[in-house]
């Protein structure tokens, strides 16, 4: 069994690579004009030192909370490092965070300064957030930021000398406050030390053998713990190169440029890749090609190369369940896609599937140093080297979410198999009761239904209804919305899929009908969190009012009018 490796702070590693390989490219940032900005380790350290010197010159109270908003960029990472160098604490904000949540977080954490990064006000929430920024809060604008009257990054680099004496940051010091995305209620500020932030790298080093030759693409929000501990922190610890994504439109090109050796994504993207390939090469054709000795291997390599995944040694999926069918498809291509499980509160250092021990529907066994048990109510309890220091300014919430012996209450329901592999069966708060008094766990149902290639996202619901039902958003291009023939064909195919799923469910779990909703669910519409999780309370508030009429229509597949 691999052991937990203990690392120094990210700043120690930055200074190490600054000394040992100053001229090697660390970060590659695509620019809006199509050019590339490449920053070496020396460049990154120099800029971080200059910005840190500027922060020191402001004479802020020690360990001040400094907020950072913007899409992923090389300068986001450098700003994070500068905040730490100056002896302060980073509070990252999602670039899609709404005005109310932004205003709440800035006030709750008593932010002393705000870094404004790469934003455009169209694919993010900057246009609604800018008016609620507290008057008098100092701002620093990073490259590619929107027009803001504030201190420009380039002016700081020009005016400031590099900070020479970096204050020692002990491993148990507070490094960052990561506010949960808030599927319900107000966001909670999860406090992480430098030790807990580096713990995931220490837990996984023996499993996935990261090294300085690795490459990763950064595109999931750096404001979320997963991207911090999967990309930013390991890149510093192991000294590998990071590429950034410019936009949704450029994602395929950015991925092919990076040709990552390690790739972490959420089920929604793995599913989109799968659906895109099936649209070009139908599954029946794939099965025929893959069965041919030489041609099959060539076809599989070509598919991975076209996706930009031909160099991936380790593929990871997390944040939500991914169907066994899709995981199996990637494995048949030759890509070992491993499920991982973790939470903001344990820095995502919890469970992972191992090559050779994969069991469909299970997220694997505990990472080295992690303990897991299931309590009498079925809730998953985890104690991890990545465990948080607590919730910022919420001692009662902290106590309520920890057991007396230090295990974190995940809020997930689960079960363990004979070798300790964990299966997530739903969220404790997601359970709903039908009119018959029966409880239903929606996640396993959604996981099975969502395997259909025409479905992008699905929500099983029905509190107070005689039977559960589901709301589904179609994948882009799944059919022509103006074609009755396309709709009829989809109804037949998806109706048969629904029948197959219902036969696998208990009587009280079987879905009465599925509604194909008209409008897509997005982060901006408030239906999804920044990490693409369903906001069930928002979705149910929007749609449950129509349930009675839908039920009375007595149709299996219903198109929202």
The tokens of 372 are what?
Answer: 């897991």
Burial (CB count within 10 angstroms: exposed 0-12, middle 13-18, buried 19+), residue 479: middle
User: Is the pLDDT reported for residue 139 higher than 80?
Assistant: yes
459-471 average pLDDT score? 93
3-state secondary structure of 472: strand
The tokens of 473 are what?
Answer: 């958003």
Can you tell me which residue has the tokens 């490459």?
215
Q: What is the Rg, in whole angstroms, of the alpha carbon atoms belonging to the chain? A: 24
- Residue 535 has a pLDDT of 85
3-state secondary structure of 196: helix
Q: How many CB atoms lie within 10 A of CB 50?
A: 21
Q: What is the CATH number of domain 432-559?
A: 3.30.300.30
**Residue with more model confidence, 546 or 186:** 546
Mean pLDDT is lowest, of 92-96, 117-121, 207-211, for 207-211
Go through the chain and tell me how many residues it has: 561
User: Is the pLDDT reported for residue 3 higher than 80?
Assistant: no
- Between CA 352 and CA 367 the distance in angstroms is 6
- Residue 184 has a pLDDT of 52
448-458 average pLDDT score? 85
Q: What is the pLDDT of residues 38-89, one digit of tens each?
A: 999 999 999 999 999 999 999 999 999 999 999 999 999 999 999 999 999 9
- Residue 34 has a pLDDT of 87
129-150 average pLDDT score? 94
Can you tell me which residue has the tokens 């299996």?
556
- Banded pLDDT at 185 (limits 50, 70, 90): low
Residue 537 pairs in a beta bridge with none
- Between CA 162 and CA 312 the distance in angstroms is 37
Domain boundaries, given as residue ranges, for the chain:
10-241, 432-559
Spatial contact of 41 and 18, defined as CB atoms under 8 Å apart: yes
- Banded pLDDT at 1 (limits 50, 70, 90): very low
Q: What percent of the chain has pLDDT over 70?
A: 98
Q: How many CB atoms lie within 10 A of CB 512?
A: 18
Q: What is the CATH number of domain 10-241?
A: 3.40.50.980
Mean pLDDT is lowest, of 95-104, 234-243, 434-443, for 434-443
β-strands 422-427, 408-416 pairing: antiparallel
User: Is the pLDDT reported for residue 240 higher than 90?
Assistant: yes
- Banded pLDDT at 266 (limits 50, 70, 90): confident
Spatial contact of 410 and 387, defined as CB atoms under 8 Å apart: no
Q: What is the pLDDT of residues 416-445, one digit of tens each?
A: 999 999 998 877 777 788 888 888 888 888
**Shared fold status for 10-241 and 432-559:** no
Strands (E), 150-254: 151-152, 174-179, 189-193, 215-218, 241-244
Q: What is the pLDDT of residues 305-352, one digit of tens each?
A: 999 999 999 899 987 777 778 888 999 999 988 999 999 999 999 999
443-455 average pLDDT score? 84
**Residue with more model confidence, 92 or 427:** 92
The tokens of 194 are what?
Answer: 């430098």
- Most confident of the following: 212-216, 293-297, 436-440: 212-216
- Banded pLDDT at 539 (limits 50, 70, 90): very high
**Residue with more model confidence, 369 or 271:** 369
């Amino acid at each position: 069994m691999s052991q937990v490796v203990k690392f120094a702070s990210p700043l120690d590693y930055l200074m190490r690579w600054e000394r040992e390989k100053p001229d090697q490219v660390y970060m590659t940032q695509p620019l809006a004009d199509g050019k590339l900005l490449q920053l070496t380790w020396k460049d990154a350290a120099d800029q971080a030192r200059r910005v840190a010197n500027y922060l020191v010159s402001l004479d802020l109270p020690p360990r001040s909370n400094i907020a950072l908003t913007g899409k992923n960029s090389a300068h986001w990472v450098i700003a994070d490092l500068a905040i730490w160098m100056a002896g302060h604490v980073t509070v990252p904000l999602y670039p899609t965070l709404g005005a109310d949540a932004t205003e709440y977080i800035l006030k709750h954490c008593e932010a002393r300064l705000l870094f404004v990064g790469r934003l455009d006000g169209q694919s993010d929430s900057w246009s609604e957030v800018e008016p609620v920024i507290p008057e008098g809060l100092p701002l620093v604008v990073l490259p590619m930021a929107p027009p803001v009257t504030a201190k420009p990054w380039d002016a700081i680099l020009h005016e400031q000398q590099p900070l020479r004496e970096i204050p020692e940051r002990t491993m148990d010091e507070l490094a960052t406050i990561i506010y949960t995305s808030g599927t319900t209620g107000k966001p909670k500020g999860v406090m992480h030390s430098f030790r807990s932030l580096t713990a995931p790298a220490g837990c996984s080093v023996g499993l996935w053998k990261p090294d300085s030759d690795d490459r990763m693409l950064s595109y999931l929000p750096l404001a979320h713990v997963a991207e911090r501990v999967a990309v930013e922190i390991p890149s510093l610890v192991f000294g590998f190169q990071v590429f950034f994504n410019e936009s949704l439109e450029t994602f395929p090109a950015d991925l092919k440029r990076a040709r990552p050796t390690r790739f972490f994504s959420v089920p929604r993207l793995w599913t989109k890749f799968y659906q895109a390939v099936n649209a070009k090469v139908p599954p029946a054709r794939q099965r025929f090609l893959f069965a041919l000795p030489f041609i099959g291997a060539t076809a599989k390599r070509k598919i991975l190369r076209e996706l930009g995944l031909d160099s991936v040694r380790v593929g990871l999926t997390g944040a939500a369940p991914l169907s066994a069918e899709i995981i199996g498809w990637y494995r048949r291509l030759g890509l070992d896609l491993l499920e991982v499980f973790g939470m903001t509160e344990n820095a995502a250092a919890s469970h992972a599937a191992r090559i050779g021990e994969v069991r469909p529907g299970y997220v694997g066994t505990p990472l080295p140093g992690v303990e897991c048990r299931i309590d009498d109510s079925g809730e998953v309890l985890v104690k991890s080297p990545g465990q948080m220091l607590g919730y910022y300014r919420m001692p009662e919430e902290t106590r309520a979410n920890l057991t007396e012996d230090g295990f974190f209450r995940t809020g997930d329901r689960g079960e363990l198999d004979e070798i300790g592999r964990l299966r997530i069966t739903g969220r404790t708060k997601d359970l709903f009761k039908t009119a018959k008094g029966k409880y239903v766990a929606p996640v396993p149902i959604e996981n099975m239904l969502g395997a259909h290639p025409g479905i992008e996202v699905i929500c099983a619901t029905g509190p107070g209804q005689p039977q559960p039902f589901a709301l589904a958003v179609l994948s882009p291009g799944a059919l022509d919305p103006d074609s009755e023939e396309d709709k009829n064909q989809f109804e037949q195919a998806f109706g048969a899929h629904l029948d197959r799923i219902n036969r696998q469910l208990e009587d009280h779990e079987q879905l009465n009908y599925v509604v194909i909703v008209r409008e897509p669910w997005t982060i901006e519409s408030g239906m999804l969190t920044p990490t693409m999780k369903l906001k069930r309370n928002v979705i149910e508030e929007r749609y449950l009012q129509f349930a009675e009429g839908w039920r009375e229509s007595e149709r299996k597949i219903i198109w929202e009018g």
